[in-house]
């Protein structure tokens, strides 16, 4: 005598599609957040402090230029010289002429001249906006 097994209706109505969507969204969020966190760790730079500094937010059209203690430039994890930096900035402005923003992250013990050179280059190439990154002053 064959035995018949009755299957419940609960497993038929279980839909995994929303769960999979949520997992993919979380994965994308952590991948993007990790990329922005790596941007700050590219070069060990001690930022100067400012009393009214705001936290730095990263927008997709921002280009970060690091200046180390020796006055060397680094963009996207690669050390560049002044003509290389000019080429990168020129291409960035050509790709985004209205909204291109350059963030200058200079070590506080670096000389001022490399930072002024970047600012002058941004003015020459008509970069719409450039900013000097600082960190908030420590609380007394």
- Euclidean distance between CA atoms 99 and 21, whole angstroms: 32
Residue 59's contacts (CB-CB under 8 Å, 6 or more residues apart) are: 101
9 pLDDT exceeds 80? no
Helical H segments across 45-111, by residue range: 82-95
Mean pLDDT of the chain: 80
Task: Check if CATH label 3.30.420.270 holds for domain 40-136.
Answer: yes
Question: Structural domain boundaries of the chain?
Answer: 40-136
Q: pTM of the predicted model, to two decimals?
A: 0.57
- pLDDT one-digit tens code per residue, 81-114: 999 999 999 888 888 878 888 999 988 888 889 9
- pLDDT one-digit tens code per residue, 18-45: 888 999 999 888 877 776 655 555 666 6
């Amino acid at each position: 005598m064959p035995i018949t097994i009755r299957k419940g209706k609960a497993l038929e109505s279980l839909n995994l599609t929303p769960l999979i969507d949520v997992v993919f969204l979380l994965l994308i969020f952590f991948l993007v957040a990790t990329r922005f966190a790596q941007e700050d760790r590219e070069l060990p730079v001690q930022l100067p402090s400012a009393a009214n500094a705001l936290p730095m937010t990263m927008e997709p059209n921002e280009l970060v230029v690091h200046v180390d203690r020796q006055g060397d430039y680094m963009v996207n994890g690669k050390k560049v010289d002044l003509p290389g930096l000019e080429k990168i900035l020129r291409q960035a402005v050509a790709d985004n002429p209205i909204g291109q923003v350059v963030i200058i992250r200079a070590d506080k013990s670096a000389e001022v001249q490399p930072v002024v050179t970047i600012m002058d280059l941004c003015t020459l190439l008509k970069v719409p906006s450039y900013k000097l990154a600082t960190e908030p002053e420590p609380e007394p």
